[in-house]
Amino acid sequence: AQSVTQLGSHVSVSEGALVLLRCNYSSSVPPYLFWYVQYPNQGLQLLLKYTTGATLVKGINGFEAEFKKSETSFHLTKPSAHMSDAAEYFCAVSDRRSGAGSYQLTFGKGTKLSVIP
Amino acid sequence: DAGVIQSPRHEVTEMGQEVTLRCKPISGHNSLFWYRQTMMRGLELLIYFNNNVPIDDSGMPEDRFSAKMPNASFSTLKIQPSEPRDSAVYFCASSSYGYTFGSGTRLTVV
């Protein structure tokens, strides 16, 4: 079974400060890893994903995440927070061996990011 | 591409009534997922289909919930009878290589 732990249900940063949202996972096989963002009253949008290859993954809106197998982590960062980054962020893991030609995502509980002017 | 389309966006119903949520996936996506989001439990996978066939419905909370996918372009999630604890936002997502989520249906059962 796979699981995702996001440390901190709520993170506040000042505008222009570093954003760091933590995600740890457990998986019995090499996982696919994802970060999604959810703005109020909207669905989830994909920020970035790791499947294979380079462990530092760049996504939209200046976000990036690094897959660290030894730490079972996939933390999300952005060098300088912008007011528009205020949203809820979800880390997700997939067992790439899920069958039937598709894969299931298991989501963390989410981290709500507030950006202080 | 209009994305994943869910209807209605909001639904308020009385306890005991039947509720039907609808989803139109992205054309060509072969997998469809129904999720429920609440403050207490976060995002929970209810059921998913692959090529219109239900693959895993272990997340469906109880027999009051049922889901169908009669063809590749339409799916429904039905709750009968509805209860106040079913109040949540229900998301549909379709997938080919990556997931695309709909905007959700906010269900309130009073």
Cβ within 8 Å of residue A4, ≥6 positions away: A23, A24, A25, A91, A92, A93, A106, A107, A108
Note whether B101 contacts A44, CB cutoff 8 Å. Answer: yes
Note whether A102 contacts B95, CB cutoff 8 Å. Answer: yes
Q: Best interface-test mutation with A: which of B24, B38, B43, B69 has the largest number of A CBs within 10 A?
A: B43
How near does any CA of chain A get to the CA of B14, in Å?
A: 22
Residues of B in contact with A46 (CB under 8 A): 98-99
Closest CA to A97 of A24, A2, A9, A11: A2
| pLDDT tens readout for residues B27-52 | 989 899 999 999 888 899 999 999 99
What pLDDT sits at residue A102?
Answer: 60
How near does any CA of chain A get to the CA of B38, in Å?
A: 10
User: Tokens for B35?
Assistant: 């999720």
- Each of the 110 residues of chain B gets a pLDDT tens digit; together they read 679 999 999 999 999 999 999 999 999 898 999 999 998 888 999 999 999 999 889 999 889 999 999 999 999 999 999 999 999 999 999 987 678 899 999 999 99
